[in-house]
C-alpha cells in the first residue's frame, strides 16, 4: 500500500429529515456501519444542535467515521477515514444511504499521506 489510509468524503442527498435529526438513531447507525465494514468501535461523541441538526463522530481503532446533518436541506456529510489497507471505506456508502433513506449519493476518496505540493488545492508549506 502506498498510502497511510483512505479518506472517503460522502454526500448523502434527499435523506429523511427526521432521521437526520435523531441523535440516537445516528449514533446507532454509524456504530453499526462501522462494525459492518469491519472496523473496531472505540467510542463516540454526538451533539444535537438547536433548532435542528446533529454532528457526531465514531472513533474506530482504524481512525474515524463522522457525520454532520442539515435536516432542513435533507443533507448529510459523512467522512469515513481508515488507516491501513484492511478496511474498505467505500463499503460504508450503501448501508449509510439505505439507513438514512438517501435518494442520491456522491463521494470522493483520497489516499492520505500521498499528496504532493502540486496536488494541493489550497496551499502547501
Report the DSSP beta bridge partners of residue 48. 54
pLDDT tens per residue, range 20-73: 999 999 999 999 999 999 999 999 999 999 999 999 999 999 999 999 999 999
Longest Cα pair distance anywhere in the chain, in angstroms?
Answer: 44
pLDDT band at 116 (very low <50, low <70, confident <90, very high): low
Residues labelled catalytic: 63, 68, 83
**Residue-level pLDDT at 85:** 84
| CA distances from residue 50 to 17, 47, 54, 55 in whole angstroms, order as listed | 14, 10, 9, 12
Question: From CA 119, how far away is CA 55, in angstroms rounded?
Answer: 29
φ/ψ of 62, rounded to 5, equals -90, -10
CB 69 within 8 A of CB 83: no
**Domain extents in the chain:** 5-112
Q: Single out the residue of 36, 102, 29 nearest to residue 66, CA to CA.
A: 29
CATH of the structural domain 5-112, one choice from 3.60.90.10, 3.30.70.1230, 3.30.70.360, 3.30.1310.10: 3.60.90.10
pLDDT beyond 90 at 6: yes
CB 76 within 8 A of CB 69: yes
Gyration radius from the chain CA atoms: 15
**Residue-level pLDDT at 121:** 59
What is the three-class DSSP state of 124?
coil
For residues 12-16, give the mean pLDDT: 98
pTM higher than 0.85: yes
Amino acid at each position: 500500500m502506498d498510502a497511510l489510509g483512505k479518506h472517503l468524503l460522502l454526500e448523502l442527498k434527499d435523506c429523511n429529515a427526521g432521521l437526520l435529526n435523531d441523535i440516537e438513531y445516528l449514533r446507532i447507525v454509524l456504530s453499526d456501519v462501522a462494525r459492518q465494514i469491519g472496523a473496531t468501535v472505540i467510542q463516540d461523541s454526538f451533539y444535537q444542535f438547536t433548532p435542528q441538526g446533529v454532528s457526531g463522530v465514531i472513533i474506530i481503532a482504524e481512525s474515524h467515521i463522522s457525520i454532520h446533518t442539515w435536516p432542513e436541506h435533507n443533507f448529510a456529510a459523512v467522512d469515513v477515514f481508515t488507516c491501513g489497507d484492511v478496511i474498505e471505506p467505500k463499503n460504508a456508502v450503501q448501508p449509510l444511504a439505505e439507513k438514512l433513506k438517501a435518494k442520491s449519493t456522491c463521494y470522493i476518496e483520497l489516499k492520505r499521506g500521498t499528496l504532493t505540493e502540486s496536488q494541493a488545492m489550497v496551499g502547501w508549506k
